[in-house]
Amino acid sequence: MNFRRNTIAIVESWKTALHDRTFCLKLILFPILFIIYSAITQHLGRYVEARQGIRLDDKFLMLLPSHDFSVEIFVLLYSSLFLLVVTHLSKPAVILKIIEMHFLVAVIRQICILMVALEPPAGMIILRDVFLENTIYPQNSPLTKDLFFSGHVASIWIYFLCSRRRYLKYSMLAATLFMSFMILSMRVHYTYDVLGAMLFTTVIYFVPLVTRQYFAKAKEYKYAGSVTE
């Protein structure tokens, strides 16, 4: 009975959302932009790998054990995304926000990578991701210099920010900490890349919200002023 009720709620919420022209446009546009972005990054990735960067002195990395967590990282990342989507199927705005955030963070991250030329930390263990290696990464050439900032940590942090359920917030926070530990243990990123991922993702998430609230209040103030006159 609950399954049927939940299914009806999901269908109704999507029917309502799909009547919004802006929502439909974004739902179509962002996947297309992702395809274009993936095609571009195939070439940019080769350029990033070929250029010379600097190796940072990150003493915190030396305090962590070195271990290959490729499988665990893959499972944690995509299971977290699956869990978030499944638990928010009745909230189309959240699903769209996840897609939108992934695209915006990916673009900003690529800009940062192009601006900050870094060599990977000493003792780096190659992170294997079947999905990314067949979409964004250059074919048959794993990326090692796409460092600032961490895309894996940024993704989990997106799920934390987008979640509307308290228990899931706590789960995604724990997942972010665990992901950060595994990423750093593999020496795939510097500590600065992990911290930068959370900082940049938080800014990207909140700037549109704050901007909309500001203009909404400014509009209300202007309207109230015109009425009193």
Residue 54, helix vs strand vs coil: strand
pTM exceeding the 0.85 threshold for the entire prediction: yes
Lowest mean pLDDT among 5-19, 36-50, 58-72, 124-138: 124-138
- Work out whether the CA dihedral 217, 219, 222, 225 comes out positive or negative: negative
pLDDT band at 1 (very low <50, low <70, confident <90, very high): low
pLDDT at 3 over 90: no
Residue 77, class by beta-carbon neighbours within 10 Å (0-12 exposed, 13-18 middle, 19+ buried)?
A: buried
Strand partners of residue 54: 118
**Which of 112, 115, 96, 86 has the alpha carbon at shortest distance from 208?**
96
Number of domains in the chain: 1
pLDDT at 122 over 70: yes
pLDDT at 113 over 70: yes
pLDDT band at 134 (very low <50, low <70, confident <90, very high): low
User: What is the Cα–Cα distance from 133 to 146, expressed in whole angstroms?
Assistant: 13
pLDDT at 226 over 70: no
Containing domain of residue 143, as a range?
Answer: 2-228
- Do 175 and 80 meet the contact criterion of CB atoms below 8 Å apart? yes
H helices present in the chain, as ranges = 2-18, 21-50, 70-87, 92-115, 130-133, 151-162, 166-185, 191-228
* pLDDT at res. 139: 59
**What average pLDDT score do residues 178-196 get?**
97
pLDDT at 169 over 60: yes
